[in-house]
C-alpha cells in the first residue's frame, strides 16, 4: 500500500508570506492616510476660496446698491456721508445700501448701513438694524475672512479722477449724499496676495 505524502508550508515560507502581507498592509495604510490628508487639504482650500468669493460678493453687491442716504450716529450732530472711507477712520468702509432682504415682511426699510474693518487679521462686517442709530443700537458683527493684511479702496470721482478716500479731500461743497462713479476694491491676503475688483456704483 502506497503512502500519501502531505506537503505543507515551511516556517520560512510562512515568515516570508507574513512579511510581504505586513509590508503591503503598511503601504495601503500609508496610501489611505495620504489620501485622507489630501482630501482634508482640498476641503480647506475649497472653504478658503468660498470665503474669499463670498467676501468679494458682499462688498461688490453692497457698493453696486449704494444709495445716497446719510445717517446719524450715536451722539453725533452732523450726519455721516452716505459712503465714507478715509484714513484714520473707525472703519475701512461704511455705506448705506439698498436691497436688504425682508422675507418676513417686517415693517422696516430695505436700506441698511454696513461697515467693514480689520481686527487682528480678520475682516469683520458690521451692520445696523436702523439707519439713524442711538447708543442703544449696537451693530451685529460677522467674521467674513481670516488672514487679511489690508483692505483699501479707490474711488472714481465725477471728474474721472481717482481718489483714495471718500468724500474726497477736495470735496468742499459736495453734499453728504454724493457717491463715486466706481470703486476699486483692493484686498490683500496673507496666502493669496492682492485681489482687485472694480465695481460700478449705481447713480
Report pLDDT for 8: 60
- Regarding pTM above 0.85, the answer is no
**Sign of the dihedral defined by the CA atoms of residues 85, 188, 56, 202, in that order:** positive
Give 68's pLDDT tier (boundaries 50, 70, 90): very high
- Distance CA(124)–CA(121), nearest Å, equals 9
Residue 156 covered by a domain = yes
Concatenated DSSP letters of the chain: -PPPPP----HHHHHHHHHHHHHHHHHHHHHHHHHHHHHHHHHHHHHHHHHHHHHHHHHHHHHHTB-S--B--TT-SSPBPSEEB-TT-SSSEEEEES----TT--SS-S-EEEEEEEETTEEEEEEESSSS--TT-PPEEEEEESSEEEEEEEEE-TTS-EESSBS-TT-TT--TT---SEEEEEEEETTTEEEEEEEEPP-
- pLDDT tens profile 96-129: 999 988 877 777 889 999 999 999 999 999 999 9
- pLDDT tens profile 152-199: 999 999 999 999 999 987 656 566 789 999 999 999 999 999 999 999
What's the total number of domains in the chain?
1
Residue 18 covered by a domain = no
Q: Is residue 1 pLDDT above 60, yes or no?
A: no
- Domain span at residue 193 reads 60-200
Residue 23 covered by a domain = no
CATH number for position 146: 3.10.610.10
Count of Cβ atoms closer than 10 Å to residue 55 Cβ: 21
Residue 188 covered by a domain = yes
- Distance CA(62)–CA(77), nearest Å, equals 26
Residue 55 covered by a domain = no
Residue 83 covered by a domain = yes
Residue 54 covered by a domain = no
Amino acid at each position: 500500500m502506497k503512502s500519501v505524502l502531505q506537503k505543507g508550508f515551511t516556517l520560512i515560507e510562512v515568515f516570508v508570506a507574513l512579511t510581504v502581507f505586513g509590508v503591503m498592509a503598511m503601504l495601503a495604510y500609508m496610501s489611505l492616510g495620504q489620501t485622507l490628508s489630501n482630501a482634508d487639504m482640498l476641503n480647506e482650500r475649497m472653504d478658503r476660496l468660498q470665503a474669499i468669493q463670498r467676501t468679494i460678493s458682499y462688498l461688490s453687491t453692497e457698493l453696486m446698491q449704494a444709495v445716497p442716504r446719510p445717517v446719524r450716529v450715536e451722539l453725533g450732530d452732523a450726519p455721516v456721508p452716505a459712503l465714507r472711507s478715509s484714513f484714520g477712520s473707525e472703519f475701512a468702509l461704511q455705506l448705506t445700501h439698498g436691497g436688504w432682504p425682508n422675507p418676513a415682511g417686517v415693517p422696516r426699510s430695505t436700506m441698511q448701513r454696513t461697515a467693514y474693518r480689520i481686527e487682528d487679521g480678520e475682516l469683520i462686517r458690521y451692520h445696523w438694524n436702523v439707519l439713524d442709530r442711538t447708543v442703544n443700537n449696537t451693530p451685529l458683527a460677522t467674521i467674513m475672512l481670516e488672514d487679511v493684511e489690508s483692505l483699501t479702496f479707490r474711488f472714481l470721482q465725477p471728474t474721472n479722477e481717482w481718489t483714495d478716500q471718500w468724500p474726497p479731500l477736495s470735496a468742499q461743497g459736495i453734499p453728504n449724499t454724493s457717491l463715486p462713479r466706481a470703486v476699486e476694491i483692493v484686498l490683500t491676503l496673507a496666502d493669496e496676495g492682492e485681489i482687485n475688483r472694480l465695481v460700478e456704483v449705481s447713480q
